[in-house]
């Protein structure tokens, strides 16, 4: 009986020791940037840093976030001259991205009527898309969206939060080739 108890205690002790020494698995590495994203990222990052835009790269998507403040007229949807030059530079990069889909999405804060915010964010997205198109980006490569006050990034109860929520996002993704699309049988 003592031998069984000793063997059982040894097994329990080994199990506890083994469990306590297990370290949690390291988090997976961030997605590797595709060659497509790498070729566009350096130029867009330089523009973003100079203009105080945000830029995010997931490997398959580059997201450029343009604040409304300092780029648009405060009470209208007109781009200010200070907003035109950087967007022209973005257009210069994107006009060579014929292998890309470009989604221009407008957002607003929650102040005012929903339909007004929806219209405002669409007009801002159209203003950005027009500058991109004038800069040589093909219209058929662009998609326009208006999300109005949907998907806020910050609290709409503060001026700073509303300021963050008023934005235009340019999402750039590689166009899938026909051979990589799954076809139905």
Mean per-residue pLDDT over the chain, rounded: 82
Confidence of residue 9 (pLDDT cuts 50, 70, 90): very low
Whether residue 37 contacts residue 57, with contact meaning beta carbons closer than 8 Å, is answered with yes
pLDDT at residue 180 is higher than 50? no
Q: CATH homologous superfamily for 54-175? A: OmpA-like domain (3.30.1330.60)
Pairwise CA distance, residues 64 & 66, whole Å: 6
Give tens-digit pLDDT for 160-176. Answer: 999 999 999 999 988 87
Q: Assess contact for 77 and 123: CB atoms under 8 A.
A: yes
- CA-CA distance, 181 to 185, in Å (whole number)? 13
Local structure of residue 183 (DSSP, 8 states): -
Indicate the domain borders of the chain. Answer: 54-175
- What is the sign, positive or negative, of the torsion defined by CA atoms of 77, 79, 102, 173? negative
Summarised one tens digit per residue, pLDDT across range 96-108 is 888 889 999 999 9
Cut 0.85: pTM above it: no
């Amino acid at each position: 009986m003592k031998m069984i108890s000793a063997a059982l205690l040894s097994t329990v002790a080994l199990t506890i020791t083994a469990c306590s020494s297990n370290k949690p698995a390291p988090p997976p590495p961030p997605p590797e940037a595709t060659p497509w994203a790498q070729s566009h990222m350096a130029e867009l990052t330089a523009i973003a840093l100079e203009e105080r835009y945000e830029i995010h790269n997931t490997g398959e998507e580059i997201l450029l976030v343009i604040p409304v403040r300092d780029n648009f007229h405060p009470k209208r949807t007109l781009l200010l001259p200070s907003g035109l030059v950087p967007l022209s530079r973005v257009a210069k990069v994107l006009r060579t991205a014929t292998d890309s889909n470009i989604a221009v999405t407008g957002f607003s804060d929650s102040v005012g009527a929903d339909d007004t915010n929806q219209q405002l964010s669409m007009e801002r997205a159209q203003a950005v898309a027009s500058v991109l198109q004038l800069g040589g980006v093909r219209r058929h490569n662009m998609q326009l969206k208006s999300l109005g006050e949907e998907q806020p990034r910050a609290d709409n109860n503060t001026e700073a939060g509303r300021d963050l929520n008023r934005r235009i996002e340019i999402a750039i993704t590689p166009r899938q080739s026909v051979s990589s699309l799954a076809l139905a049988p």
